Structure 1
């Protein structure tokens, strides 16, 4: 079979004029056609990257705390209010304030349900009364004044409100605002948002049909992406992150907001739609253009995000990302961890890839652009732009170089720069993971969420421990040992029945992990050293959180032991 595939690939490649924009499966599909897909995806049977958990922990012995309320579902948005010792949780039709130390203790709740008229209107539009025509809380952020900004799907008519916590109670202020572009209409559509200095950055759809995806910053200086397939093409938004790139900047750069998502690729020639993972960025100080790109981003750039699995041709698709930064180091040393799953149901492997912030930044600040070029009739092919790049550089933030030219805000950018970025927002170079391969890959339950926490072990080394949620309701705990070996310490069943982990949060104040799903919220310690009952098991697990206390004769958490 290997010889056959090799010969077919060589023969097919002779018929191709350019591999840069070729569909990853195209050379083989010339020989095998649509039947190739299973073959290509089954090339890997025993990946050297795969790891097996040291132990599996059942629901009955998981040492977790569970909060759930009868009749309430979809606990999928969370806000850590460590200043108030609260975990604020958004669910379907209700917001909860839980004790941060013990989530089984409900401090307060605030209902936000839809009216009968709203339900009737939702049904009239063809939506399901029991599932679609509810108010799913999807946006939950802290404002600088201590209040919270909350948005819900509101029976396919999204709205936002302000919420406060005083005298032990949550209070919705009923200062309702239009939620279009801030919160999805469809409760089952992926979205992302972040709040920076009271400005909400959101990635969702602007319309009822879900056909107008946008990355938007809300009022007072509202600005968004163009509704063009070259900007966003059937995207699934995943997460957003802010990077303080103005700090210690030699060229007077601006802070940036990064968006992770997947979308249909425009740059490949395929017999079927191919989905790829992306990271996009915009500048915090972007005000749009004066004439061209009015109230549109002048700094929107995007690049492909690769997580190559040896032997697999189809790109894996991003499901979540987590920004990890060492506060004592430069922002360029930050690392993004992301979880990926296959875009074919044939494969059951998931992966985690890690990316240096410096590598991401370099692609956007120095990389080449792609440009659409007409081929033959109306067919559009994307190729490397080889012409002269305008100055200031398209997509760049206002920096010292621009200021020397008398350009102090994006409203003063020349049309040539703006027209370039309007037509060519896609970078040519893909962003590759550290060492070019995943840090972890595994067959079984698909990865859904990830958070990372750094801990210092007994050997004096600091390790970045990954906690990975799955679509079966389990939580993996994994890290890379100093010799490069990837270790999965344990896999814990968080819920009584298998269901996707929809959100993960980690509190630096309590040192606890919080996981949300359709049926409830779970609190779990990252350590749980007591699961190792013998010295041998404690040591062989190589858990950087734990050590064997010979005086006490048990496996203990290093943070709570003097030995």
Structure 2
């Protein structure tokens, strides 16, 4: 009976291993760049944290950076230069009130800048959590100064109360679209438009059920629309699934959208969205049983293509800590729009067990279609705005905002899956390569403060490099890109960083430049450098799809380095490889070197232990890297190792001679001489001050003490050197007392006073010097 479950478990383990083997988890960065201050321009101000809100003002050459209780205006070309700043701190009363509500006064009861958008009159709209009392204000930049206008507005529904709660916002024609919570407890989630006509979602679990908001984006779907459609605002979030018939809560990823011209209903859904629809988003990762959760999105559009060809790139992470995988899925805007425009709805159905089950709605759909924007068809029916929609349509969308069909990614699989640091933010930039094609390069921030640069070449996941941006490692919380400077801007709790898109200078050879498969870079044969394509007028060598480096000219031979080692010594020969995808091998005198206990092959070196005469020769380190075009081998390092002889012809041993001349030896001699002079001066000073007695004074003092001792009597008597010898005749090393006379192996001790038991404190005392061991019988 117990054999069948055991076989099932064994089969499941085998299946899991097979999936693991077939999975693309070996997608590691070709180059890993450790932290260095030259990796990026950094900005950080002491005592200020949480640099997680950014606004690019390319018209002013500024990066507006929102942090905790401060907003900074930084030079867009070099953000390490602060041009202006303004403080927005909470008052003591606000801090006390926040503390009385049970919040931490040092972290939560501060003003975290969360909203930072440009208005049509070139001012900035800024909102902060303000010690759990969110407020908004207008800010201007003029004459090198940032100024808050102090026109404080209520920030409820615009800015989150909790500084650590996820939110989303976007400014469209001076109307702020925000997704956050309306109350202190965070129990009233809302998608709201703040304008002359404020519109928000219903407080129903079928609309928003414990959501975690991610991001928002606008799509100009009215542009050249044959149907006379309206622009849309998309909201990406995750929430607890109401349609799931399961015992535990299941979190799913969603995309919702509303129409820009929505004014709410006349009677039903007054001042509520009449166009709010939502659908599930899937990102299948290795046949995972639990859906992955969306964390961030980026809208990528080609300016020369219509909006339907735009893509949404989204990063996903597992909802349980059982996996350390992260994924990127890409979605077509046209696919999302089609689900909302043509898809079936889900409807709640009560069942006998007293809970609601959501199933696909198969009844009649009202006209105009529930959730649709006002278009030409509606206008022909005399419906020119949402206020004219019939109650039947409005009641339908009020009860059924969820679509039945899930939105699938392009190819129904991720464009990138990686095992390691969790993805946090994503940004996509489109670049034209030397082959004339355009490629979308993904820049992905992680929880460890690194930035990944990756491309998907016709289904092949390829990570060009991973760069450590922040040290100590801090999660990247925001990513922005400037078309003017061609730079990336990242923010974390620690600070902000400015990173270039192209880092061609990290490749020092043609082979390395081409195998990097970076669409931004190519090898210039004329100057012998890896350059940015847009900065060169000549044709550069590049092969991004295949990594074909056969067009590269032959590299100059590596100059061997002469190294000597003595018999029995250890030697480490370094072999730094520019690629983590390459495998290194060693040759000695042209023959492959076999690893052994004395020849250990490390990742970037060869270790020779306990060298013998046979270890001499020419060592070459070879780097072998495989690409789709073939296998490429290059010599990274070369060493001429000689083992010095330890014996001469006449049989006498020869040892290495110390260097007796040269600048290093002269310097060492000077240091030793200086230390000796300093020691003698210090010794003389101590003798002069009396801290150390002179030798002749010690002998004189001993003779004086010997003369004075017999003259003194009574119980208060000092025991002399000779008296202390009497009770120790039978011992080899008797205990003695006395003052040091300068002989070796003696320790000087002070006198100690002893009182007999029962005596009073003012009674006679015997003063005994400290006892010492005699190591030499001649002293007795």
| Alignment of 1:447 onto 2:423 | yes
Q: What is the TM-score with the length of structure 1 in the denominator? A: 0.92
Over the residues paired in the alignment, what is the CA RMSD in angstroms? 1.9
Secondary structure of the structure 2 residue equivalent to 1:59? coil
Give 1:185's aligned residue.
161
Cα distance, 1:499–1:547 mapped onto 2, change above 3 Å: same
CA–CA distance in structure 1, aligned partners of residues 7 and 313 of structure 2: 37
Deviation, structure 1 residue 201: 0.2
CA–CA distance in structure 2, aligned partners of residues 262 and 394 of structure 1: 23
Secondary structure of the structure 1 residue equivalent to 2:340? helix
- Please point out which of 147, 165, 170 is paired with 2:123: 147
Give 2:372's aligned residue.
396
Give 1:549's aligned residue.
524
The answer on whether the counterparts of 1:62 and 1:492 sit within 8 Å (CA) in structure 2 is: no
Cα distance, 1:7–1:328 mapped onto 2, change above 3 Å: farther
Of the structure 1 ranges 209-218 and 61-70, higher mean CA displacement relative to structure 2 is found in: 61-70
- Please point out which of 499, 510, 518 is paired with 2:493: 518
Cα distance, 1:258–1:39 mapped onto 2, change above 3 Å: farther
Cα distance, 1:103–1:198 mapped onto 2, change above 3 Å: same
Alignment of 1:367-446 (within 5 A): 367-446=343-422
- Please point out which of 446, 449, 460 is paired with 2:436: 460
Deviation, structure 1 residue 484: 3.2
CA–CA distance in structure 2, aligned partners of residues 7 and 358 of structure 1: 46
Secondary structure of the structure 1 residue equivalent to 2:80? coil
Secondary structure of the structure 2 residue equivalent to 1:530? helix
The answer on whether the counterparts of 1:43 and 1:312 sit within 8 Å (CA) in structure 2 is: no
Alignment of 1:82-481 (within 5 A): 82-481=58-457
Q: Which runs of 4+ in 1 moved over 2 A?
A: 3-8, 38-50
Secondary structure of the structure 1 residue equivalent to 2:39? coil
Deviation, structure 1 residue 43: 7.9
Cα distance, 1:42–1:169 mapped onto 2, change above 3 Å: farther
1:33-90 deviation line (CA, Å, top 9, x unaligned)? xxx9x99998843453331111000112652100000000000000000000000000
Secondary structure of the structure 2 residue equivalent to 1:395? coil
Of the structure 1 ranges 456-465 and 288-297, higher mean CA displacement relative to structure 2 is found in: 456-465
The answer on whether the counterparts of 1:42 and 1:347 sit within 8 Å (CA) in structure 2 is: no
Secondary structure of the structure 2 residue equivalent to 1:56? strand
Give 1:45's aligned residue.
20
Cα distance, 1:43–1:131 mapped onto 2, change above 3 Å: farther
Deviation, structure 1 residue 328: 1.2
| Alignment of 1:530 onto 2:505 | yes
Cα distance, 1:548–1:172 mapped onto 2, change above 3 Å: same
Cα distance, 1:47–1:258 mapped onto 2, change above 3 Å: farther
Deviation, structure 1 residue 190: 0.2
Of the structure 1 ranges 52-61 and 275-284, higher mean CA displacement relative to structure 2 is found in: 52-61
The answer on whether the counterparts of 2:43 and 2:80 sit within 8 Å (CA) in structure 1 is: yes
CA–CA distance in structure 2, aligned partners of residues 61 and 219 of structure 1: 44
Give 2:655's aligned residue.
none
CA–CA distance in structure 2, aligned partners of residues 294 and 62 of structure 1: 56
Cα distance, 1:534–1:270 mapped onto 2, change above 3 Å: same
The answer on whether the counterparts of 2:415 and 2:459 sit within 8 Å (CA) in structure 1 is: no
Deviation, structure 1 residue 5: 9.0
Alignment of 1:12-23 (within 5 A): none
The answer on whether the counterparts of 1:41 and 1:312 sit within 8 Å (CA) in structure 2 is: no
The answer on whether the counterparts of 2:55 and 2:64 sit within 8 Å (CA) in structure 1 is: yes
Secondary structure of the structure 2 residue equivalent to 1:411? helix
CA–CA distance in structure 1, aligned partners of residues 461 and 417 of structure 2: 10
The answer on whether the counterparts of 1:40 and 1:313 sit within 8 Å (CA) in structure 2 is: no
Give 2:616's aligned residue.
none
The answer on whether the counterparts of 1:43 and 1:311 sit within 8 Å (CA) in structure 2 is: no
CA–CA distance in structure 2, aligned partners of residues 560 and 71 of structure 1: 40
| Structure with larger Rg | 2
Give 1:485's aligned residue.
460
Secondary structure of the structure 2 residue equivalent to 1:104? strand
1:412-465 deviation line (CA, Å, top 9, x unaligned)? 110100000000000000000000000000000000000010111122221100
CA–CA distance in structure 1, aligned partners of residues 6 and 357 of structure 2: 27
Secondary structure of the structure 1 residue equivalent to 2:366? coil
Gaps of 5+ in 1: 9-30
CA–CA distance in structure 1, aligned partners of residues 176 and 325 of structure 2: 35
Equivalent pairs, count: 534
Q: What is the TM-score with the length of structure 2 in the denominator? A: 0.67
Alignment of 1:71-86 (within 5 A): 71-86=47-62
